[in-house]
Structure 1
């Protein structure tokens, strides 16, 4: 496995590989790798000759300093895990200075409203930070394909919008959510949960599944009210939002349209940790 921490060295290495007609996949991560990340890496390896896995905790996408400081980090374990998967992995581990220099701030993007709902409503500037770092990685690596998990589905749609608007020659691929045995969507943040809360967090996925079963016969308002009532009765969790939205535009569903794909989105606090999930409804 090759390891790089400077952009220019990585770009020089990858250009030689492209000159030999080798295809390149990119899996951007913030480290604290788990089986969800590894599933992305394995898919990327199946579809490309080489895979770049970036490990970078991006400061500009955190709206709370405390959340940035508490984000789990274990680089030694991450590299060991990647080394067990394949020798055709390239780890890119830049410092904050390498990425931003002394001016740690994000660019400003126009996402056509995709960034104004759900996560965007509760996390000011988050998606500008995401767009900044993903654009930089796409321009540095110049991958044929880049892979993102659907747990962050709103982020996935925003990255697709950004890549298209910037005319970046890369296919953005969304990959299914990987779940823990009890249903909780895999996330690096799960490591901060107590054992009991982590097991009880199956309640989040069970709620989404029940919402899906109700979707065929009940209105979005009735389902939302039912979800809110369920969380009010469960003292372990604090519901931040539940939203049924158009999968493509992310606009809230007002009246069901037969030719539209809908998805339920949820954000919940548990043990002071913010957890998100989503599920396609039709």
Structure 2
């Protein structure tokens, strides 16, 4: 497995890849089974898979967990090598933002970036769109694979790629879950033992709310029931919203493909999850 730490090394390799498509799996490291599933999905599409590992400071607010975000580079590389990944791209912050964050040209996807997680974390999706755009320009992938656990992020990236006429096939891979239903996330490691035992309630609740929507309960009523249930179980809800899948806009009567999205704090840990459904 190749490991590139500089853009010049990566581009030298990329220029030689003319036979098979190149797939990119962007990550911030601290890889878990969910990340590895994205890699396996990329390997189904092509033999040339690049995994980027970069903790992106632009998508963290000043009061968020950038400094304590887990960094496990050696372990990550070992797991990727065991899967037969072609290359790892692990640039430094100075490589990615040579003029500093304050002077960095940025990418903003309007409207969708300001709702849900975007409302709670202003500037977050500007950071996401900017780093993904840069990674697409750096790696020049034909294919990119993202997890559906970050559903809003996936839609932001799809819109960005379409708006900027990027020739990248973006694949969304279903959420990988623990046996008890909790969506796998690097931040799950922040949970205490007691909190970890309680966290699977989120997915149980999403399934219950999806059933209610299928039974004809109005989205607004479903949202209120969900928020009440989260609070009663000891969570601190950030939001719970029923939206249409394609653009995350409010649900109209004719919409049938819906997604329930939520974010809630359990202790000091912010958890997100979603469930797509059809009514």
Bin the TM-score by the shorter chain.
over 0.9
Contact 2:108-2:129 within 8 A present in 1 as well: no
Give aligned pairs, total: 276
TM-superposed CA distance for 1:243, in Å, is 0.4
2:253 corresponds to: 256
Cα distance in 1 between the residues matched to 2:99 and 2:229: 47
TM-superposed CA distance for 1:114, in Å, is 1.1
The equivalences for 1:137-152 within 5 A come to 137-152=135-150
Instruction: Indicate yes or no: 2:262 matched with 1:266.
Output: yes
Three-state SS of the structure 2 residue aligned to 1:264 is strand
2:9 corresponds to: 9
2:38 corresponds to: 40
> Where in structure 1 do 4 or more consecutive aligned residues deviate above 6 Å?
none
The equivalences for 1:185-204 within 5 A come to 185-204=183-202
Cα distance in 1 between the residues matched to 2:248 and 2:184: 22
Contact 2:61-2:124 within 8 A present in 1 as well: yes
Cα distance in 2 between the residues matched to 1:171 and 1:203: 34
Gaps of 5+ in 1: none
Cα distance in 2 between the residues matched to 1:163 and 1:54: 18
Gaps of 5+ in 2: none
Q: Deviations over 1:148-196 (max 9, x none)?
A: 0000111111101111122111101100000011111111111111122
Three-state SS of the structure 1 residue aligned to 2:217 is coil
Instruction: Indicate yes or no: 2:108 matched with 1:94.
Output: no
Cα distance in 1 between the residues matched to 2:108 and 2:58: 17
TM-superposed CA distance for 1:143, in Å, is 0.8
Cα distance in 2 between the residues matched to 1:174 and 1:241: 23
The equivalences for 1:224-235 within 5 A come to 224-235=223-234
1:103 corresponds to: 100
1:281 corresponds to: 277
Contact 1:117-1:251 within 8 A present in 2 as well: no
Cα distance in 2 between the residues matched to 1:81 and 1:214: 41
Cα distance in 1 between the residues matched to 2:202 and 2:48: 36
Three-state SS of the structure 2 residue aligned to 1:143 is coil
Cα distance in 2 between the residues matched to 1:102 and 1:270: 37
TM-score, normalised relative to structure 2: 0.95
Contact 1:182-1:199 within 8 A present in 2 as well: no
Contact 2:25-2:49 within 8 A present in 1 as well: yes
How has the CA–CA distance of structure 1 residues 132 and 165 changed in structure 2, closer, same or farther, with 3 Å as cutoff? same
Cα distance in 2 between the residues matched to 1:246 and 1:22: 36
How has the CA–CA distance of structure 1 residues 36 and 141 changed in structure 2, closer, same or farther, with 3 Å as cutoff? same
1:242 corresponds to: 240
Contact 2:109-2:126 within 8 A present in 1 as well: no
TM-superposed CA distance for 1:65, in Å, is 4.0
RMSD: 1.3
Contact 2:30-2:186 within 8 A present in 1 as well: yes
TM-superposed CA distance for 1:110, in Å, is 4.5
TM-score, normalised relative to structure 1: 0.94
